[in-house]
Homo-oligomer: A and B are copies of this chain.
Amino acid sequence: MDLAHKKDVYVKTLEERLTALLKNKNYPPVIYDAISYSLLGGGKRMRPVLLLAACEAVADDDESGISPELSETLRFNCALDFACAIEMIHTYSLIHDDLPAIDNDDTRRGRPTNHKVFGEAMAILAGDALLNMSYELMIDACIRHQYLNCLPALVEIARSAGINGMIGGQVMDVHTEGTTVDEETLLYIHEHKTAALIKASIVAGAIIGGAGGRYLKTFRQAANHMGLAFQIKDDILDVTGDSSTLGKPVGSDARNNKNTYVSVFGLEQARRDYQYMWDSCIQHFNELGAEFLAAYAKDLRDRVR
């Protein structure tokens, strides 16, 4: 299997669908510009790739017990809408995070942040619009595809995006800024702010693919480990990475007094936990016969930026 090629196909399919979704517009052009700027402005597209790949991994597996009558096209089209929705949620969270009142970031992915281009008011509204649009899209998909697995996938994503998921983590991060947090609080922030939505991408994809019972449980276990491992990798790279590859100065977290996995648990334990979580994640994907996901997880594990 050619990982890079398959990943490119997922990303291309996603970006074409996102572009088409934004084109169906009766709304004021200025908000279209602000939304497109951030939503169609690149990025790894990790969450949608995970969702699409998890859906296909279930469909590909002879052992999963999925009814053959359930067409692959139906499942994939449904997963594609959910993949777009999860990228909208991720993008809204970045736009709001970058605002002067929160992280006050001027650049993202090498370009000025949304509020630097469109002003703070429009950036707040663009974030609100993207969050609402993600739900419009998923609800519409539930009705359009008339496919029973959509609703449980929607529950999974809604919970992970909200106050008991991503927003809860973000709140705790903002609330503890400038203080040194204990291990429990750091884990709360990481598991909610970053891991929850990554996890939901995999689990929602598997649900749409048709996974249930013990099969779905294994997806959940893999997803759990990947979410947290991804953040630990970020924190380790900030200490050990190469600033020219990373695109930002090494050690910026420490200089900004940010609480990271490394600052709370130390570099050695961070590396140990990180290794354990990736190994476990990859092993679960292998058990599931999810060849692409296992390869993609290895790719994320070994990334240098």
List chain A positions with a Cβ less than 8 A from chain B. Answer: 25-28, 30-31, 35, 92, 96, 99, 101-102, 119-122, 124-125, 127-129, 131-133, 135-136, 139-140, 142-143, 151-152, 154-155, 158-159, 161-164, 167-168, 170-172, 174-175
Contact = CB atoms under 8 A, between A and B. Distances in A.
What are the 10 A-B residue pairs with the smallest beta carbon separation, nearest first? Answer: A101-B120, A132-B162, A31-B171, A27-B163, A27-B168, A129-B163, A136-B158, A101-B121, A129-B167, A102-B121
B124 A124 contact: yes
Contact of A101 (B124, B132, B168, B172): B124
Nearest to A142: B151
7 contacts: A27-B168, A28-B172, A96-B128, A101-B120, A132-B167, A133-B163, A143-B152
Nearest to A134: B135
Contact of A132 (B143, B152, B158): B158
A16 B162 CA distance: 22
Given A27-B171, A28-B175, A154 B125 contact: no
Contact of A171 (B30, B96, B120): B30
Nearest to A172: B28
A28 B171 contact: yes
A159 B170 CA distance: 27
B131 A132 contact: yes
A204 to B, nearest CB: 13
Contacts of A124: 96, 99, 101-102, 124
Given A28-B172, A136-B162, 7 more contacts: A101-B119, A125-B167, A125-B171, A132-B163, A133-B162, A139-B151, A143-B151
Contacts of A175: 28, 30, 122
Contact of A31 (B102, B155, B163): B163
A26 B196 CA distance: 15
